[in-house]
Amino acid sequence: MYLFLSFRDRRFLYELVETHRPKEACAFLLGRTSSEGFTVLKVTPASNILDSAVAFKIDPSEVFEVFDEADRIGLEVIGVFHSHPAPAEPSNIDLEYMKANPMVWLIASMLDKSIGAYYTQNKTVKKIEILP
């Protein structure tokens, strides 16, 4: 499995993280799914209604809006992005939500700008390769 994330979208996400620092930034990843992986075609920023440096929550109305937008433009919501004030690895809370929401979870570290992608398959969270 892989996640294709263009350099342009990576830069956009890093700018989003810097803009929201020290709070956690979040966004939706829209694109396409294949048997080999996921391709991000659009990043849609979202509001962290917790306004927190250690957690995020997206307003349910924004969730509805992004799924509606994806339908309108012929894409899928393939994942969610958020930043961490720690390494780019899932927290215990993230792991719980990943199992309940099997989509790509992309996490960026505010410490070193590293980024990690994770996907739940058969209730097991796996790190997936980010291309290019």
On whether the pTM is more than 0.85, the answer is: yes
Q: What angle do CA 68, 88, 24 make, to 5 degrees?
A: 55
If one counts every other C-beta atom within 10 angstroms of the C-beta of residue 23, the result is 19
Distance of alpha carbon 89 from alpha carbon 10, whole angstroms: 17
Q: Tell me, what's the pLDDT at 121?
A: 87
Can you read off the two tokens belonging to residue 23?
């709070």
Active-site annotation holds for 24: yes
Written as one letter, the residue type at 36 is E
Written as one letter, the residue type at 25 is A
pLDDT tens, residue by residue, 63-120: 999 999 999 999 999 999 999 999 999 999 999 999 999 999 999 999 999 999 999 9
Distance of alpha carbon 74 from alpha carbon 85, whole angstroms: 34
Confidence of residue 60 (pLDDT cuts 50, 70, 90): very high
Task: Walk me through the domains of the chain, giving residue ranges and CATH numbers.
Answer: 2-131 (3.40.140.10)
Written as one letter, the residue type at 109 is S
pLDDT tens, residue by residue, 5-57: 999 999 999 999 999 999 999 999 999 999 999 999 999 999 999 999 999 99
Residue 122 has pLDDT above 90, yes or no: no
Residue 123 has pLDDT above 90, yes or no: no
Radius of gyration, CA atoms only, the chain: 14
Partners of 131 in the β-ladder: 4
Q: Tell me, what's the pLDDT at 2?
A: 97
CA separation, residue 129 to residues 4, 5, 18, 19, 93 (Å): 8, 10, 24, 26, 22
Marked catalytic residue, from 15, 18, 24, 62: 24
